[in-house]
């Protein structure tokens, strides 16, 4: 049995873990990052491709929150976490949410002005920008359709840096903060899964973790890490699962929040692009409803077409003219993550309310409207039995067709399973992510967000993680 | 009500064939050049069109984008929209609340914006405010939101959409909050209300001192027209009700007098005395059912009957000139007379 | 838990595994559209790998459904009601519209895996890449 000693053990190398490791290392602290997934060269896989799903996602991208209806989702599992596989869209936490969360959860120093300082630093470090050139057709379609209807729409910025030729590179954690952390002395151990946290039996203090490390030849060894502080950054599903497995349960794993989405595969009379996710969003119905674009390789297109009908051959042959779009909601419902003794994967459940289902139906209808206005000739909704729409008259029936039985939902964002704040009835950690009743044990990822933010959470996660790490450093 | 030469020549009415809508169409038809009505099915159109040549009907669903497009076709800026389409008592599932009350409102606001209408008058309810905290409290325009059940939540969200649309400059809007209403054109299921009271079988919860604001349809229509005409109204919400809230016991006694005055025979002892706890249980059952997406009108109504739900119409009086003219007794007589004239057995 | 579930963690050493039950293989064949045998083989390998990679609670639930549905289809076969792959496909298509959510989700999951793999591995995939690193 091997063992390593470190000052701060960071579990997970995604948006939260990378910020935590970089800030700590740059302040001169000894940091060890353990990451369950492998390390990959950031250019090795085509985004959203089958090899990428197999290599960089947990369970090859096939996960589900059970419920009526179930909600499918994926989690990144690699050095850099979900930042290596996401769209890179970057949007600060809306001010009104920061204020609402500060009030409801009694979070110290959580006003918009304070958060803006941390957000600005993260954005400068990563490089956040809009496109230097005209938007690609799949994105321009949203802009065109929304403008025609008089709906507010905007190009979201992304964590991309552009070279002189205008070629963009997504600024993932493995390209940015993790190398920074390593340069400042941090160590990163990939292929290293934490089995259990080690906590002091008396006062619950974090002592380290027991890990299982997989070597390139497939062999495994147990690795014990001794640490003065442990920061869990494994994501909104794995963080509560790990805490529960380690005997930490109070307000852990409840209150899971998603951005449930419905989709439409839209066929246009012209070719569209298939490499990047559209950067335009229709914000007319925000914060409750947002409309955007989704990965549209041939594989995703085939799946999206088949949601509505079995008769997809014609549209699939024409796939170069098809792109997939979504409508996402802020959900009133919530879910749970439950570690199951003896099983590696937790059980995840989610309950959608009737108001949620209605909002999803509304999203589908509005999404249909904007795509028709953009010139789409056929719309394949994510409803069992469709129907496929070709004119505005066809869309009204989607309201009644959008039942729990007919809906195929997915989410790419999960948050809120270990909420932060001083109100102990509602939270699993204090205002800065320290787990209640467990000194030196912290959480610093999407689990902390008290609710789903209605926008891509990466910016909020990194802003909050940055703030929390600065606070942690003052106590080290 | 005399026509004002500054009224918008076009009125667009959603929910036109409903209880409130029928009263509203009849009030607007003589004084507007064009009254464009949304009705849910082909049968509901002709009776409205018979009212006056100014009445036009569009058949369809308020949630349906193609329908609402047709509703607003050739409607320009010289128009007022009266958005009364809503589900108060769904047939079975609470999902209908959100689809129609929120989804339908969004659709109407969007098309109203595109048409550039002069204003939207949105019909809301007491339900986003729950029950008064004490029997003497009265809701006014500064009262906080406290939505009651699915209907309350959906009407609350609808108000939010209307206010957002106004604040963003999409449409100029006024919200009118109407409590429990009564009057001609009531749906036939409402006859049970009169029958039960006539036979002394209507439940009187507790001591009957809890107060309920009610509004006679003619009074409500007057309030909507004031909201349509008043410059001051824009961007505001107003409570529109009869002059004073009534004690539940008085409501039942007054209806009995009205029934008698219209020549019907009373029986029974006035009302069925029911302990307050029955209503409390009904509220819990209502909450349970709605949590499962289901709805029972009887259970819902019974659950609300212990509460004081009462408002103050002072601001509507002061700011938009609202002045309710019809009393409870006269209003109930008119309702009863209407039912009898339309072949209802009470 | 049984050792075969823990084995799911190791990188797949061979294509085809006792964990992918025969009925599941039949479902993949029935839902497949690719004319080339090489693509069909790659699709089956992909689905096999994906099933083994599923979260255990989900994989166990799916196994249970496979046993029930496989038995049911076996009975239908014995009664001559399902003769060939086309019949099975028709049945699967119908199940996707079933009132029973487990049935719908079962077919939906397999169809999604098959469609994704076919269209990302076949000769006219997005960028006609080679087989995935297993």
Residues A232 and A440: beta-carbon distance below 8 Å: no
Residues B19 and B185: beta-carbon distance below 8 Å: yes
Residue C8 has pLDDT above 50, yes or no: no
Q: What is the ipTM of this complex?
A: 0.94
Residue B165 has pLDDT above 50, yes or no: yes
Which residue intervals of B93-190 are DSSP H helices? 95-96, 105-115, 149-167
Residues C10-19: what's their mean pLDDT?
41
pLDDT of residue A354: 95
Rounded to 5 degrees, φ, ψ at A249 are: -130, -20
Q: Does A300 touch chain C (CB under 8 A)?
A: yes
Nearest to A281 by CA among A151, A178, A392, A394: A151
Percentage with pLDDT > 70 across chain C: 78
Nearest to A350 by CA among A291, A296, A409, A306: A409
List CB contacts (< 8 A) between B67 and chain A: 396
Percentage with pLDDT > 90 across chain B: 91
Residue of C nearest to A45 (CA): C132
Task: Specify which residues B14 forms β-bridges with.
Answer: B83
pLDDT of residue A1: 77
Please provide the average confidence, as pLDDT, over all residues in chain B.
95
pLDDT of residue C99: 85
Residue B76 has pLDDT above 60, yes or no: yes
Residues C43 and C24: beta-carbon distance below 8 Å: no
Give CA–CA dist A266/A379, Å, rounded: 5
List CB contacts (< 8 A) between C96 and chain A: 310, 384
Q: Tens digit of pLDDT for each residue in A153-211?
A: 999 999 999 998 888 999 999 999 999 999 999 999 999 999 999 999 999 999 999 99
Task: Specify which residues A290 forms β-bridges with.
Answer: A328
- What CATH topology corresponds to B10-186+213-243+310-326? Rossmann fold (3.40.50)
Q: Tens digit of pLDDT for each residue in A78-108?
A: 999 999 999 999 999 999 999 999 999 999 9
Q: Does C106 touch chain A (CB under 8 A)?
A: no
Query: Do residue B61 and residue A399 have CB atoms under 8 angstroms apart?
Result: yes
Residues B48-67: what's their mean pLDDT?
98
Strand bridging mode B34-39 / B55-59: parallel
Between residues 38 and 57 of chain C, which touch chain A (CB distance below 8 Å)?
46, 49-50, 53-57
Task: Specify which residues A258 forms β-bridges with.
Answer: A414
Q: Tens digit of pLDDT for each residue in A157-168?
A: 999 999 988 889
Query: Do residue C119 and residue A298 have CB atoms under 8 angstroms apart?
Result: yes
pLDDT of residue B219: 98
List CB contacts (< 8 A) between A408 and chain C: 108
Q: Tens digit of pLDDT for each residue in C67-88?
A: 999 999 999 999 998 888 999 9
Q: Tens digit of pLDDT for each residue in B176-209?
A: 999 999 999 999 888 999 999 999 999 999 999 9
Q: Residue B252 burial (CB < 10 Å; 0-12/13-18/19+)?
A: buried
* Angle, in degrees to the nearest 10, between helices C85-95 and C101-121: 120
Query: Do residue A150 and residue B103 have CB atoms under 8 angstroms apart?
Result: no
CA distance between the termini of chain B: 31
pLDDT of residue B269: 83
Strand bridging mode A168-170 / A157-158: unpaired
Sequence ranges of the domains in chain B = 10-186+213-243+310-326
pTM: 0.94
Residues A405-412: what's their mean pLDDT?
95
Q: Which chains touch C (3 or more CB pairs under 8 A)?
A: A
Residue B259 has pLDDT above 80, yes or no: yes
Task: Specify which residues A9 forms β-bridges with.
Answer: A32, A230
- Which residues of A are identified as catalytic? 413
Residue A283 has pLDDT above 80, yes or no: yes
List CB contacts (< 8 A) between B69 and chain A: 392
Q: Which residues contact A164 (CB under 8 A, 6 or more apart)?
A: none
Kindly indicate the confidence band of residue B278, based on its pLDDT and cuts at 50, 70 and 90: very high
Residues B80-88: what's their mean pLDDT?
97
Residue C14 has pLDDT above 70, yes or no: no
Kindly indicate the confidence band of residue C123, based on its pLDDT and cuts at 50, 70 and 90: confident
Residues A296-324: what's their mean pLDDT?
97
Is the domain A2-39+78-127+172-253+416-475 a CATH 3.40.50.150 member?
no
Residue C1 has pLDDT above 70, yes or no: no
Q: Does B61 touch chain A (CB under 8 A)?
A: yes
The CATH class of A137-166+260-411 is alpha beta
Query: Going by beta carbons, is chain B in contact with chain A, meaning 3 or more pairs sit under 8 Å apart?
Result: yes
Neighbours of A2 (CB within 10 A): 10
Q: Does B98 touch chain A (CB under 8 A)?
A: yes
Q: Which chains touch B (3 or more CB pairs under 8 A)?
A: A
Residue C3 has pLDDT above 90, yes or no: no
Residue B35 has pLDDT above 70, yes or no: yes
pLDDT of residue C127: 59
List CB contacts (< 8 A) between C54 and chain A: 59, 62
């Amino acid at each position: 049995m091997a063992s390593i000693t470190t000052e701060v053990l960071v579990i997970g190398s995604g948006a939260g873990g990378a910020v935590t490791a970089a800030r700590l290392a740059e302040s001169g602290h000894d940091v060890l990052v353990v990451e369950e997934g492998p390390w990959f060269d950031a250019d090795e896989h085509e985004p959203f491709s089958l090899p990428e799903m197999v290599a960089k996602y947990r369970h090859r991208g096939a996960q589900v929150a059970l419920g009526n209806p179930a909600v499918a989702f994926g989690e990144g599992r690699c050095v850099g976490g979900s930042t290596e596989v996401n769209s890179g869209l970057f949007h600060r936490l809306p001010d009104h949410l920061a204020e609402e969360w500060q009030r409801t959860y009694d979070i110290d120093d959580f006003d918009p002005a304070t958060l803006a300082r941390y957000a600005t630093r993260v954005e400068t470090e990563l490089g956040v920008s809009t496109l230097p050139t005209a938007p690609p057709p799949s994105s321009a379609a949203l802009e065109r359709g929304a403008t025609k209807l008089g709906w507010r729409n905007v190009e979201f910025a992304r964590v991309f840096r552009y070279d002189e030729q205008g070629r963009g590179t997504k600024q993932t954690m493995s390209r940015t903060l993790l190398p920074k952390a390593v340069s400042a002395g941090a160590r990163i151990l990939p292929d290293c899964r934490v089995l259990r946290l080690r906590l002091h039996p008396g006062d619950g203090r974090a002592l380290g973790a027991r890990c299982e490390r997989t070597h390139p030849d497939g062999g495994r060894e147990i690795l014990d890490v001794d640490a003065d502080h442990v920061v869990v950054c494994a994501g909104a599903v794995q963080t509560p699962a790990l805490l529960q497995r380690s005997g930490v349960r109070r307000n852990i794993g409840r209150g899971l929040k998603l951005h449930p989405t419905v989709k439409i595969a839209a066929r246009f009379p012209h070719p569209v692009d298939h490499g990047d996710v559209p950067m335009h969003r229709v914000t007319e119905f925000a914060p409750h409803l947002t409309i955007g674009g989704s990965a549209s390789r041939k594989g995703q297109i085939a799946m999206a077409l088949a949601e509505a009908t079995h008769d997809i051959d014609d549209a699939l042959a024409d796939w170069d003219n098809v792109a997939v779009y979504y409508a996402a909601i802020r959900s009133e419902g919530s879910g749970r993550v439950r570690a199951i003794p003896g099983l590696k994967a937790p059980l995840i459940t989610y309950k959608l309310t009737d108001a949620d289902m209605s909002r999803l139906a509304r999203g589908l209808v509005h999404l249909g409207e904007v795509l028709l206005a953009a010139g789409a000739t056929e719309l394949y909704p994510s409803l069992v039995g469709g129907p496929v729409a070709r004119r505005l008259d066809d869309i009204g029936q989607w309201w009644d067709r959008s039942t729990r039985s007919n809906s195929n939902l997915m989410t790419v964002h999960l948050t809120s399973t270990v909420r932060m704040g001083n109100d102990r009835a509602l939270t699993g950690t204090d205002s800065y992510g320290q787990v209640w009743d467990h000194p030196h044990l912290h959480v610093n990822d999407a689990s902390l967000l008290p609710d789903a933010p209605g926008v891509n959470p990466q910016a909020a996660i990194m802003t909050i993680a940055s703030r929390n790490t600065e606070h942690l450093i003052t106590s080290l | 009500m005399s026509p004002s030469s500054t009224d918008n020549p076009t009125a667009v009415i959603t929910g036109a064939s409903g209880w409130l809508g029928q009263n509203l169409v009849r009030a607007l038809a003589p004084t507007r050049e064009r009254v464009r009505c949304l009705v849910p099915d082909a049968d509901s159109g002709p009776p409205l069109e018979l009212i006056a040549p100014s009445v036009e009907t569009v058949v369809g669903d308020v949630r349906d984008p193609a329908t609402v497009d047709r509703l607003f076709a050739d409607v320009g800026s010289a128009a007022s929209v009266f958005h009364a389409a809503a589900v108060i008592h769904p047939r079975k599932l609470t999902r209908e609340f959100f689809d129609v009350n929120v989804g339908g409102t969004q659709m109407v606001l969007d098309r109203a914006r595109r048409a550039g209408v002069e204003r939207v008058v949105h019909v809301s309810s007491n339900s986003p405010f729950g029950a008064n905290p004490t029997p003497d409290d009265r809701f006014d325009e500064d009262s906080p939101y406290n939505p009651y059940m699915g209907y309350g939540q959906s009407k609350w969200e609808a108000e939010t959409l209307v206010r957002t649309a106004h604040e963003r400059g999409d449409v100029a809007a006024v919200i009118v909050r109407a409590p429990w209403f009564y009057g001609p054109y009531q749906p036939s299921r409402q006859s049970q209300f009169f029958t039960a009271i006539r036979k002394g079988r209507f439940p009187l919860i507790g001591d009957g001192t809890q107060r309920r604001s009610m509004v006679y349809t003619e009074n409500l229509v007057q309030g909507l027209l004031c909201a349509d005409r008043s410059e001051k109204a824009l961007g505001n919400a107003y409570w529109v009700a009869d002059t004073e809230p009534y004690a539940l016991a008085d409501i039942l006694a007054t209806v009995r007098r009205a029934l008698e005055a219209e020549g019907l025979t009373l029986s029974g002892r006035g009302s069925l005395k029911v302990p307050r706890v029955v209503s409390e249980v009904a509220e819990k059952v209502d909450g349970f059912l709605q949590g499962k997406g289901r709805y029972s009108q009887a259970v819902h109504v019974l659950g609300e009957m212990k509460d004081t739900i009462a408002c103050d119409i002072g601001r509507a009086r002061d700011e938009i000139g609202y002045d309710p003219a019809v009393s409870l007794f006269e209003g109930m007589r008119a309702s009863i007379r209407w039912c009898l004239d339309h072949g209802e057995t009470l | 838990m049984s050792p075969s579930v823990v084995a799911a963690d190791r990188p797949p050493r061979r294509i085809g595994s006792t964990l992918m039950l025969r009925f599941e293989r039949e479902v993949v064949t029935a839902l497949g559209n690719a004319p080339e045998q090489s693509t069909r083989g790659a699709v089956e390998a992909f689905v096999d790998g994906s099933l083994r990679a599923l979260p255990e609670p989900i994989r166990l639930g799916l196994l249970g459904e496979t046993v029930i549905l496989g038995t049911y289809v076996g009975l239908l076969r014995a009664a001559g009601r399902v003769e060939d792959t086309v019949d099975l496909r028709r049945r699967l298509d119908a199940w996707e519209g079933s009132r029973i959510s487990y049935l719908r989700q079962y077919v939906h999951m397999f169809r999604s895996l098959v469609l994704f793999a076919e269209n990302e591995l076949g000769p006219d995939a997005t960028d006609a890449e080679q087989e995935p690193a297993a």
